[in-house]
Amino acid sequence: MDTRVIQLLMELRKQGIGDTRVLAAMERVPREQFVAEQFLKHAYDNIALPITQGQTISQPYVVAYMTEALKLTDRMKVLEIGTGSGYQTAVLARLSRRVYTIERYRSLLTTAEKRLNELKITNVVTKLGDGNKGWIEQAPFDRILVTAAADTRPDGLIAQLSPNGGIMVAPVAVNTTEQDVIRYTREGDDIREERLLPVRFVPLLPGIAREAAT
């Protein structure tokens, strides 16, 4: 195994990531295939990195933390809001039955699809669309992961959770400058909220994006 991967996994353990399945998934997904060429030397640094369209590939710790917070099993149907580079998608795919992922930038989605195909990850279904609306045709979902920050509690997505213990993990704005990862657990009409971790994500925006020049 690449020594950089070993070092990253050791760092994640030190930071409190204890789920061995999540760590194994992080080990199996080659992060260097999801970062821009100019950042390859930083592929296994525990930092976020820029990708096109003003987006980022999240810090490995945040990916591992949010994935662990989902409490995934390999029988679960997962919705991901914000495909981005496809890195988080690939990690989720290693841990669940099927991942449905939505991206508002066509160019990002096309590149992510190519990367997932190259890794022979076949349990992912992609869609170009507005993540705020979720994927109503495929609801309910056992788990939902949101990788952009909502201004308020994303009730439209919560409605697409399974009412039998469905869990959503999402960054949500606390005020104009702060965001927290919040875990929502749904039992029937009862929604339990747990504030987990301060973070910094790009905003969850409506609609399909007009592409920025690259």
pLDDT digits (tens, 9 = 90+) for 48-68: 999 988 899 999 999 999 999
* 2 pLDDT higher than 90: no
Give the pLDDT confidence score for residue 212 in this predicted structure: 54
Q: Is 214 within a domain? A: no
Q: Is 95 within a domain? A: yes
Q: Is 12 within a domain? A: yes
Domains in the chain, number: 1
Q: Is 53 within a domain? A: yes
Please state the rounded mean pLDDT for residues 37-54: 93
Q: Is 143 within a domain? A: yes
Q: What is the spatial distance between Cα 75 and Cα 148, in angstroms, rounded to a whole number? A: 25
CATH code (residue 119): 3.40.50.150
* 12 pLDDT higher than 60: yes
Q: Is 182 within a domain? A: yes
Whether 58 is catalytic: yes
* 159 pLDDT higher than 50: yes
Please state the rounded mean pLDDT for residues 20-40: 96
Using pLDDT thresholds of 50, 70 and 90, give the confidence band for residue 200: very high
Selecting among 58, 85, 96, 107, the annotated active-site residue is: 58
Q: Is 160 within a domain? A: yes
Q: What is the spatial distance between Cα 60 and Cα 45, in angstroms, rounded to a whole number? A: 8
CA nearest to 171, candidates 160, 162, 159, 184 = 184
CA nearest to 69, candidates 209, 172, 178, 197 = 197
| Whether this model's pTM surpasses 0.75 | yes
Residue 140 preceded by cis peptide, ω within 30: yes
Helix (H, G, I), strand (E, B) or coil at 125: strand
High-pLDDT (> 90) share of the chain, %: 92
Domain that holds residue 99: 3-199
Q: Is 209 within a domain? A: no
Helix (H, G, I), strand (E, B) or coil at 43: coil
